[in-house]
Structure 1
Amino acid sequence: MALKRGPRSQPSGLDPLARAKAIALRQLAARMRTEAQLRARLAKDGLEGEADAVVAWLAALGYLDDGAYARARARGLVARGAGPRLVERRLVSEGIDAAAARAAAAEALAGEVGEGGRAAELAQCRALAARRARGIPLEDLDDRGRRRLARFLLGRGFAGSVVSRVLGIHADG
């Protein structure tokens, strides 16, 4: 009968730094990660003392790059219909700096739509609204349908002003 080892049990013969490097490499082999995600994973195994050395080692090898992670993740989210605010929130929650998250979201949106700034967000929102309306022209939606679509688009991270412009909803005042 084999003994079960918990996630924090240390294999015999490995010093903490070697163990931390092995864990980090396994994590990166599965998918890209941010520095914050790797630090959290190492802390889970009680290896927070080795985190600085491991992060520096991985960065020197080119295996850890938060900027590249942010750009790739933002492109993936935008391709699936996420608006810039949702992309920013997700990236920040994954350990990316707010300014870098904002820049990655803007770059991904511009790359997806082929335009920049507010025009890119407007084009992405319009395309998602048309897909969600399933062939019904947006002008033909009733009030209930517009409200539902507006809630959906706002939840996907588009600005209220962009949603109202796409759906033809204009607030007074």
Structure 2
Amino acid sequence: MEIVAGTDPFGLFQTWFDEAVKAEINDPDAVALASVDANGMPSVRIVLLKEWSPAGFVIYTNYESRKADELLATGKAAFCIHWKSLRRQVRVVGSVSKADPVQSDAYFASRGRGSQIGAWASAQSRPLTSRDDLAAQVRVVEDRFPDIVTRPPHWGGFSIDPQEIEFWADGEHRLHDRFRFTANGKAGWDIQRLNP
């Protein structure tokens, strides 16, 4: 498959994502998010990409988690989204900042009640004595919020402002099609076709 790159990486990403929603069985929004710790050791985990626009790619998490500690310490991240059934992937590298609190509030309000409760109940990434302890904490939070669950102050979004976006499509005989969009600092993109 040959990529028709155009000049707008977000338009191309949206087109590919819409096609992935139709083709992927589970989680077409799952990305492998990479960060590094204070010692330069990389770590990666799967998270869900919830929003994107020319302002950035947005994920949501606990601000006290390991991933948040690493993102806040370096201000940098990368992710790769892979749509196996379409034999495509997109790789993004960029700077990271916390999303606007109003944006985080709006997304939190759209989540199911169980997920909202979980955001309060889980001390994400920290040691847990037992599942019973977690279940007890869930009950405490359910009692605290019998109706509307407000967003915890320790939970919200991160926006990745892309400096580089690469599109990859599988090619016959491993002769893949690749385009890299690099931010040029003038609100535009330098576009290069890459060898497989």
Identify the TM-score tier after normalising by the shorter chain.
under 0.3
Asked which structure has the greater RCO (Cα within 8 Å, sep 6+), the reply is: 2
Which has the greater radius of gyration? 1
TM-score normalised per structure 1:
0.24
Higher strand proportion = 2
TM-score normalised per structure 2:
0.22
